[in-house]
Amino acid sequence: MNEFEDKVAVVTGAASGIGRALAEKFAAAGCRLMLADMDDAGLEETRTLTEKHGVKVEVRHCDVSRQESVDALADAAFEGFGAVDILCNNAGVLSGGLCWEVDIKDYEWQLGVNTFGVVHGVRSFVPRMIVQDTPGHVVNTASMAALTTMPFAGAYHMSKHAVLAFSECLYHELKVTQSKLGVSVLCPELIDTGIANSERVRPESYKNSDGAPPITESGKLVVGALADGMAKSGLDPSVMADRVFNAIQQDRFYILAEDSWRDACNTRLEDIRLGRNPTFSPPSV
């Protein structure tokens, strides 16, 4: 896919971070935009930034963990723009902790947004994009966490591993059915985003009965360390937007890091190849 002028791009998680960077990149290329997020204030800021490029921009509050919410987003996009050419299932959240201590609501929240948010996006948009019978592209945001495993983030890792596997299956299915849609999976490394502050958009349904998020002490340490690392050495989200744009143009599936996260990934692959026990190989950040 090489033509972007006047195409329609849908981006979830567009209120900040990678989602906002994607929206700005597509707007600069002349795309019309449907932007979605739980953070309404941030979404309006992204609208203001992207409208400066002179393109039509619509925003919608959307909880991607709910199929009906994503269905409504798709209806609004196709009714408002007449078509969808690029779909970025990008919304993501993170919470940490020991696997046996993490509350089940934390598992449900991270799987609901990170994994089922992608599933819902594909189910709501892809059938209609296929019927258009025009070149298009689906971008699913996973993570380098989809290719590695680290302690204290089991729910996050499993949610992103699922996105990668699901995206690979989607790629094969679109190929064997001779669809004109391409697929890419974005696997960011450490990026300076607001994901360490995901609690700001946690729905009430994923909180405890007293309204408090179910966060363990180990989880607080993980999120704090992540926020510190992002502030010190996280890449600007625009780097990810550039990678995605290039991958769409090249019809390239894997969008991977090339730093120590890639080394950690290769170590894990070698563990699997040799059948040895998992190596603790944290990336240097």
- Per residue in 183-231, pLDDT (tens digit) is 999 999 999 898 888 888 989 999 887 776 777 788 888 888 777 877 7
How far is Cα 73 from Cα 59, in angstroms, rounded to an integer? 9
pLDDT tens-place string over residues 105-118: 999 999 999 999 99
Distance CA 103, CA 154 (A): 12
Q: pLDDT by residue (tens digit) across 49-63?
A: 999 999 999 999 999
Cβ 136 vs Cβ 129: under 8 Å: yes
- On whether residue 244 sits in a domain, the answer given is yes
CB atoms closer than 10 angstroms to residue 243: 19
CA–CA gap between residue 12 and residue 7 (Å, rounded): 17
- 75 lies in which domain range? 8-274
Per-residue pLDDT, averaged over 33-44, amounts to 97
Burial zone of 272 (CB within 10 Å; 0-12 exposed, 13-18 middle, 19+ buried): exposed
Asked, for residue 248, whether it belongs to a domain, the answer is yes
User: Would 281 be classed as within a structural domain?
Assistant: no
- Is position 171 annotated as part of the catalytic site? no
Contact 42, 220 (CB under 8 A): no
Residue 2 lies in a domain: no
Q: What is the mean pLDDT of residues 35-50?
A: 98
The pLDDT of residue 281 is 92
pLDDT averaged over the chain?
94
Q: Give which of 51, 154, 144 is closest to 101, Cα–Cα.
A: 154
What CATH number should be reported for the domain holding residue 170?
3.40.50.720
Residue type, 40: D
* Percent of all residues in the chain with a pLDDT value above 70, rounded to a whole number: 99
- For position 215, what pLDDT does the model report? 76
Q: What is the mean pLDDT of residues 24-42?
A: 98
**Is 153 a member of any domain?**
yes
Looking at residue 32, what is its pLDDT? Answer: 98
Q: Is the residue at 257 inside a domain?
A: yes
Q: Would residue 39 count as lying in a domain?
A: yes
pLDDT tens-digit profile of 102-153?
Answer: 999 999 999 999 999 999 999 999 999 999 999 999 999 999 999 999 999 9
In percent, how much of the chain has pLDDT > 90?
83
Number of domains in the chain: 1
| C-alpha to C-alpha distances, 211 to 40, 208, 249, 285, nearest whole angstrom | 20, 5, 45, 34
- Examine the pLDDT at 285 and tell me if it is beyond 70: no
Element (H, E) at 228: helix 217-233
Catalytic residue among 156, 171, 206, 254: 156
Q: What angle do CA 207, 209, 214 make, to 5 degrees?
A: 40
Domain annotation covers residue 3: no
